[in-house]
């Protein structure tokens, strides 16, 4: 093994560049982007509950597309420019804007009262009472029925003890029409209504809910005079509704900061069953602005009272203000770090093998050992000795000469052939005195050049 080769390998050894990547940059970028988008979509779906089951269960709420639901009302208001939102978290019920409550018949009246009371100074509230008893379609109908469709199996009054206990809710018997009666509103047994400057018919003429109470200011009445929708007279000032009401307010104004509370006793005025009529849409267009809701304002449809509530988790909070700002900052930092790594300078480096391949294995391993030990200067003496032996043999000098005599003989031979060349003894002394890798390598190269001049 050549000492000079070992010295050169030990000084110049370093990291080795790996070959080209097996994937192109575009392929890697596409894989990373698609994976990141899918991961963020998964987090968003977990946080918001999207894809965790449909709320279209045929009940009377804004996510239901059955006859008794209010999906048509929510969709219509959204198309009219209002910021419609279906609320599943109880904390969001206290936000500003119009809140639409559609509790089931056996909901807790105290819970309804609690929600309404917390909102009296935040925004108007619209409460729609339930009437119908929903049943799934029979076997013959189920074949053609869409998801969420129901059949009506009867009607009942709501029982909300603890909410508006001074208001009586009644259910009309089937409408009967005397033979030969030609009065408006009784033609063909059609159930008519009037209010808010409009009039129309109900889709069902056999069952009607109505309300009765001293604090009710009628907004919509049936043909028999029963109140189908009313404003609660609670001492507030509601000029928009008062101008459209069918009767005046009774109590004196005591608190002008209160927002209105409107109760729709007959759900067929606004549910999917009733929204199939244009007059119901016109009624809605008049009612919402009169309740102090600006164009484009928020309209919240409650789903918590219908058993579809959901509490916030950490992921939900991460995608809602004010934590959304911090989440966006973290995502932006991750994008910057990923892009910086993608555009790094040059190919990646890999460390040398512990044991090299091929004929240079012994030299490379020896050089690595010397380099790690930090004893490069210990190679000087063996390198000078080996170079001297090669020159003695090449110049045919006697083998019995001691090292000093051999070095002097090499100097004489060099002076006779190349008078201007640096003597062997000077270069050898400089190599023996060197300690830094740079000085060692320079002196070793000079000695190697001297060998080539004499041997050639």
CATH of residue 220's domain is: 3.40.50
Amino acid 454: pLDDT: 83
Mark whether 133 and 255 lie in a shared domain: yes
- What is the percent of the chain where pLDDT is above 70? 81
Q: Which of 283, 309, 335 represents a domain boundary (last residue)?
A: 309
pLDDT digits (tens, 9 = 90+) for 434-451: 888 888 888 888 888 888
Instruction: Tell me which residue range forms the domain holding 377.
Output: 3-17+353-455
pLDDT digits (tens, 9 = 90+) for 37-59: 888 788 777 666 665 556 777 78
Contacts of residue 106, Cβ cutoff 8 Å, sequence gap at least 6: 158, 159
pLDDT digits (tens, 9 = 90+) for 248-299: 888 888 888 899 999 999 999 999 999 989 999 999 999 999 998 998 899 9
Amino acid 259: pLDDT: 93
Cis? peptide before 322, omega within 30° of 0: yes
pLDDT digits (tens, 9 = 90+) for 212-258: 999 999 999 998 899 999 999 988 889 999 888 988 888 888 888 89
Angle at CA 135, nearest 5°, toward 132 and 139?
Answer: 150
Mark whether 127 and 234 lie in a shared domain: yes
- What is the percent of the chain where pLDDT is above 90? 31
Mean pLDDT, all residues of the chain: 82
Q: Which of 252, 282, 309 represents a domain boundary (last residue)?
A: 309
Query: What mean pLDDT is predicted for residues 147-163?
Result: 86
Query: What mean pLDDT is predicted for residues 195-209?
Result: 90
* 450 and 425 Cβ atoms separated by less than 8 Å: no
- 23 vs 28: CA distance, rounded Å: 6
Amino acid 280: pLDDT: 92
In a domain, 225, yes or no: yes
In a domain, 158, yes or no: yes
Among residues 87, 9, 56, the alpha carbon closest in space to that of 298 is found at: 87
Q: Residue 173: helix, strand or coil by DSSP? A: coil
Among residues 150, 136, 142, the alpha carbon closest in space to that of 68 is found at: 150
In a domain, 442, yes or no: yes
Mark whether 201 and 304 lie in a shared domain: yes
In a domain, 143, yes or no: yes
Alpha-carbon Rg for the chain, nearest whole angstrom, is: 47
Number of domains in the chain: 2
Mark whether 268 and 394 lie in a shared domain: no
* 440 and 367 Cβ atoms separated by less than 8 Å: no
pLDDT digits (tens, 9 = 90+) for 83-133: 999 988 887 888 889 999 999 999 999 999 999 999 999 999 999 999 998
């Amino acid at each position: 093994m050549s000492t000079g080769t070992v010295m050169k390998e030990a000084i110049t050894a370093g990291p080795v560049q790996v070959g080209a990547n097996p994937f192109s940059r575009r392929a890697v970028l596409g894989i990373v982007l698609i994976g990141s988008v899918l991961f963020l979509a998964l987090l968003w779906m977990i946080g918001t509950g999207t894809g965790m089951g449909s709320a279209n269960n045929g009940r009377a709420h804004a996510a239901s597309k059955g006859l008794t639901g209010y999906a048509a009302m929510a969709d219509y208001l959204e198309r009219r420019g209002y910021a419609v939102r279906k609320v599943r978290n109880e904390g969001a019920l206290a936000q500003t804007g119009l809140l639409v409550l559609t509790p089931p018949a056996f909901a807790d009246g105290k819970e309804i009262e609690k929600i309404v009371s917390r909102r009296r100074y935040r925004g108007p509230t619209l409460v729609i009472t339930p009437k119908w008893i929903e049943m799934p379609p029979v076997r013959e109908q189920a074949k053609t029925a869409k998801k969420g469709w129901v059949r009506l199996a009867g009607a009942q009054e709501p029982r909300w003890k603890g909410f508006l206990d001074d208001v009586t809710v009644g259910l009309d018997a089937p409408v009967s029409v005397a033979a030969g009666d030609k009065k408006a509103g009784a033609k063909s047994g059609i159930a008519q209504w009037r209010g808010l400057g409009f009039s129309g018919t109900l889709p069902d003429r056999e069952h009607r809910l109505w309300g009765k109470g001293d604090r009710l200011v009628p907004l919509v009445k049936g043909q028999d005079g029963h109140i189908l929708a009313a404003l609660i007279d609670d001492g507030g000032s509601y000029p928009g509704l008062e101008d459209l009401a069918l009767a005046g307010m009774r109590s004196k104004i005591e608190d002008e900061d209160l927002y209105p509370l409107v109760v729709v006793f007959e759900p067929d005025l606004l549910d999917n069953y009733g929204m199939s009529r244009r007059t119901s849409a016109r009624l809605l267009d008049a009612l919402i602005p009169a309740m102090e809701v600006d164009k484009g304002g928020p309209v919240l449809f409650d789903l918590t009272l219908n058993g579809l509530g959901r509490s916030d988790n950490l992921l939900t909070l991460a995608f809602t203000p004010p934590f959304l700002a911090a989440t966006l900052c973290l995502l932006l930092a991750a994008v910057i770090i990923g892009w910086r790594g993608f555009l790094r300078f040059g190919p990646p480096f890999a460390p040398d093998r512990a044991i090299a391949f091929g004929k240079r294995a012994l030299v490379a391993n020896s050089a690595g050992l010397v380099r790690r030990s930090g004893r490069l200067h210990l190679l000087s003496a063996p390198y000078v000795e080996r170079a001297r032996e090669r020159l003695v043999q090449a110049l045919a000098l006697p083998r019995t000469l001691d090292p000093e005599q051999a070095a002097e003989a090499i100097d004489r031979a060099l002076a006779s052939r190349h008078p201007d060349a640096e003597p062997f003894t000077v270069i050898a002394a400089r190599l023996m005195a060197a300690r830094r890798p740079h000085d060692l390598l320079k002196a070793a190269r000079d000695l190697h050049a001297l060998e080539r001049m004499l041997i050639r």
